[in-house]
Amino acid sequence: MNDFSLIETLRWEPDTGFVRLRLHLARLSRSARRIGFPNPAATAAKLEAAVASADMPLRIRLTLDRHGHIEVMSTPFVPTPTGTEWKVRLAKARLDSTDKLLRLKTTRRGVYEAARAEYPASEADEVLLLNERDDVCDGTITSIFLDDGSGMLRTPPISCGLLAGVLRTELICQRKARVGRITRQDLTAGKLYVGNSLRGLIHARLVD
């Protein structure tokens, strides 16, 4: 249980600062407490130091290891253009719904990397994973949302074996999304979106 680090990936904007910072910090603290990592009390200060001289949008990757060491890396961030549609495909790899580490964002990403490697980038912008019961779970870097015509987006329950994404949490708290099982067949029965805190919601089209 100790051969990995926790991760948070954030967006920073010159005019508004860190996007969804409170939710990211809350998830990191909750995850650290759950697995016995030290309390990441210095996180906010480390993040502010990393952007002290920044003047352009940044992608910030923060890691916390089992010793409490925090590392922050930044790279320029280019937003996804409005109106973008991603091609998504289904992975042959399956997630194990009983694996509780899937509920945390960590550097242990073997199953996601294997799923992404199933298709070249020219054939898929994102790859979606199902669990052993064929429930829809996660993308390799995104949460999954379905507009089924009910007036709220539907997103899979954590119990299916997936990450509690920050964007997912925000949309649920804002009553723009609700938790509900999504089957493989449902993916073509409504309007599909994928998204994360870094890029927001992106319209998606499932390619068989």
Residues 54 and 157 in one domain: no
Sign of CA dihedral 113, 132, 102, 189: positive
What is the pLDDT, as a whole number, of residue 2? Answer: 64
Domain span holding position 68: 6-76
Q: Which of 76, 103, 136 is the last residue of a domain?
A: 76
The string over 143-173, giving b where at least 16 C-beta atoms fall within 10 Å of a residue's C-beta and e elsewhere, is bbbbeeeeebbbbbebebbbbbbbbbbbbbe
| Rounded to 5°, angle at Cα 33 from 93 and 140 | 20
Residue 182 resides in a domain: yes
Name the stretches of the chain with pLDDT < 70.
1-2
Residues 51 and 90 in one domain: no
Residue 124 resides in a domain: yes
Structurally, how many domains does the chain consist of?
A: 2
Residues 198 and 102 in one domain: yes
Closest CA to 106 of 163, 67, 59, 55: 163
Residues 13 and 62 in one domain: yes
Residue 111 resides in a domain: yes
Residues 197 and 160 in one domain: yes
What is the pLDDT, as a whole number, of residue 1? Answer: 55
Q: Which pTM was predicted?
A: 0.94
Residues 68 and 134 in one domain: no
Residues 137 and 197 in one domain: yes
Answer yes or no: are the C-beta atoms of 101 and 137 closer than 8 Å. no
Residues 171 and 135 in one domain: yes
Q: Which of 50, 76, 102 is the last residue of a domain?
A: 76
Residues 169 and 198 in one domain: yes
Residue 1 resides in a domain: no
CATH number of the domain enclosing 121: 3.20.10.10
Residue 134 resides in a domain: yes
Q: Which of 57, 76, 95 is the last residue of a domain?
A: 76
Residues 120 and 30 in one domain: no
What is the pLDDT, as a whole number, of residue 208? Answer: 81
Closest CA to 12 of 65, 49, 66, 63: 49
Q: Calculate the alpha carbon distances from 165 to 32, 105, 185, 192 in Å.
A: 16, 8, 23, 17
What is the pLDDT, as a whole number, of residue 3? Answer: 86
Q: Residue type for 150, please?
A: S
Which run of H or E residues covers position 48? helix 43-50
CA distance 106 to 121: 23
Residues 60 and 97 in one domain: no
Residues 61 and 148 in one domain: no
Residue 131 resides in a domain: yes
